[in-house]
Amino acid sequence: MWVKISIQRCGFVFLFIQAICFAQSGVSTAVIKGNLKLTGKGDSFTVFAYKYGMEEISRKYVVAVNDGNFKVTVNEVQGPLYIRIKLPENYSSPVQKYLIEPGDLVQISEANNKLKYSGIGTFKFKCRDSLNKIYKGNYSRKWKDSSFLSIMPSRPVYQYLDSIGMLQLNYLLQCKNKLSPDVFNLFKIDILSEIELNKDICLLYSNFRKDSTTNSLIKTSLADYRNKIWQELLKITKEESKATGYSAVLYQCIISRYKIDSVVFIGKTFNLSQFVDYSVKNYYGLLLEKLITNGIYLRKNQDGAALASIIAKTTDYIKKDDFKSFIAKINSNNTAGSKAYNFLLSDVNGKMHQLSDYRNKVVVMDFWFTGCANCIVLNSKLKKIEALFASDSNLVFISISKDRNKEQWVKSVKDGKYTTDNRVNLYSNGLGDSYPMFSYYSISGYPTILTIDQNGRLCENALDPRLDEGKSLIAVIEKHLKDADTAQNTNIR
- Could you write out the DSSP letters of every residue in 266-287? TT----HHHHHHHHHHH--HHH
Distance CA 153, CA 222 (A): 9
Distance CA 21, CA 38 (A): 34
Phi-psi label, residue 34: left if phi above 0, alpha if psi -120 to 50, beta otherwise: left
Which residue ranges make up each domain of the chain? 2-121, 125-334, 344-492
- pLDDT reported for residue 427: 92
Residue 31 in contact with residue 37, Cβ under 8 Å? no
Distances 192 to 177, 201, 345 between C-alpha atoms, Å: 20, 14, 44
- pLDDT reported for residue 8: 42
Helix (H, G, I), strand (E, B) or coil at 122: coil
Which runs of consecutive H residues, i.e. helices, occur in 416-453?
436-440
User: Buried (b) or exposed (e) across 351-362, using 16+ Cβ within 10 A?
Assistant: eebebeebeebb
Question: Could you tell me which of 378, 364, 374, 427 has the C-alpha nearest to residue 400?
Answer: 427
Average pLDDT over residues 123-146: 84
Mean pLDDT of the chain: 81
Residue 154 in contact with residue 218, Cβ under 8 Å? yes
Task: Spell out the long-range contacts of 313-320 with Cβ–Cβ below 8 A and sequence spacing 24 or more.
Answer: 313/273, 313/276, 314/276, 317/280, 317/288, 317/289, 317/292, 318/289, 318/292, 318/293, 319/289, 320/52, 320/286, 320/289
Q: Is 81 exposed, middle or buried (0-12, 13-18, 19+ CB in 10 A)?
A: buried
Q: What is the dihedral of CA 316, 319, 323, 325, to 10 degrees?
A: 80
Return the number of other C-beta atoms located less than 10 Å from residue 279's C-beta: 24
- pLDDT reported for residue 102: 92
- pLDDT reported for residue 296: 86
- In this predicted model, what pLDDT tens digit does every residue of 59-109 receive, in sequence order? 888 888 888 888 999 988 888 999 988 877 666 777 789 999 999 999 988
The residue ranking higher by pLDDT, 98 or 114, is 98
Distance CA 301, CA 361 (A): 21
Residue 121 has pLDDT above 50, yes or no: yes
Residue 103 in contact with residue 26, Cβ under 8 Å? no
Residue 362 in contact with residue 394, Cβ under 8 Å? yes
**Homologous superfamily of 344-492 in CATH?**
Glutaredoxin (3.40.30.10)
Q: Is 10 exposed, middle or buried (0-12, 13-18, 19+ CB in 10 A)?
A: exposed
- pLDDT reported for residue 14: 41
Which runs of consecutive H residues, i.e. helices, occur in 25-179?
123-142, 155-174
Distance CA 199, CA 222 (A): 11
DSSP 151: P
pTM, entire model = 0.72
Which residues have C-beta within 8 Å of that of residue 258, sequence separation ≥ 6? 275, 278
Residue 364 in contact with residue 473, Cβ under 8 Å? yes
CA distance from start to end of the chain: 96
Residue 15 has pLDDT above 80, yes or no: no
Using 50, 70 and 90 to split pLDDT, how confident is the model at 224?
Answer: low
Distance CA 360, CA 236 (A): 57
- In this predicted model, what pLDDT tens digit does every residue of 314-324 receive, in sequence order? 989 999 999 99
State which amino acid sits at residue 367.
Answer: F
- In this predicted model, what pLDDT tens digit does every residue of 332-369 receive, in sequence order? 766 777 788 999 999 999 999 999 999 889 999 999 99
Distance CA 406, CA 404 (A): 6
CATH class label, 2-121: mainly beta
Distance CA 435, CA 447 (A): 16
Return the number of other C-beta atoms located less than 10 Å from residue 31's C-beta: 18
- pLDDT reported for residue 236: 74
